[in-house]
Amino acid sequence: MAFNPLKGLGDINKLRQQAVAMQQQLAAEEIVVDEGDVHVVITGDQRLKEFSVQGITSEVAISAINKAIKKSQELAAKKLQAMGGFGGGQ
């Protein structure tokens, strides 16, 4: 039996499809936290939807927090890739 280096591509494709489906499911979920005068709604895929303090909200604050979350996710992904995770260097 000859070695087929392309055999694993089907498995990789299936894993990617599962990851996309999971991301879609997480995006549909919402976590609501109310503590004192603070109200937060965030999706399961870590996107801030609502944020208010004493009933006052700021779209600029929501945007800045979402940018910070995205940058932290990108940093984590780079660190995992450097360690060989998620197909990095393989």
Higher-confidence residue of 27 and 68: namely: 68
Burial zone of 7 (CB within 10 Å; 0-12 exposed, 13-18 middle, 19+ buried) = exposed
CA distance 90 to 88: 6
Q: What's 9-85's CATH class? A: alpha beta
More confident residue, 18 or 50: 50
Coil, strand or helix at 7: coil
Across the chain, mean pLDDT equals 86
> Predicted confidence band at 49 (pLDDT cuts at 50, 70, 90)?
very high
pTM of the predicted protein model: 0.66
Beta strands in 1-90 (DSSP E): 30-35, 38-43, 48-53, 56-57
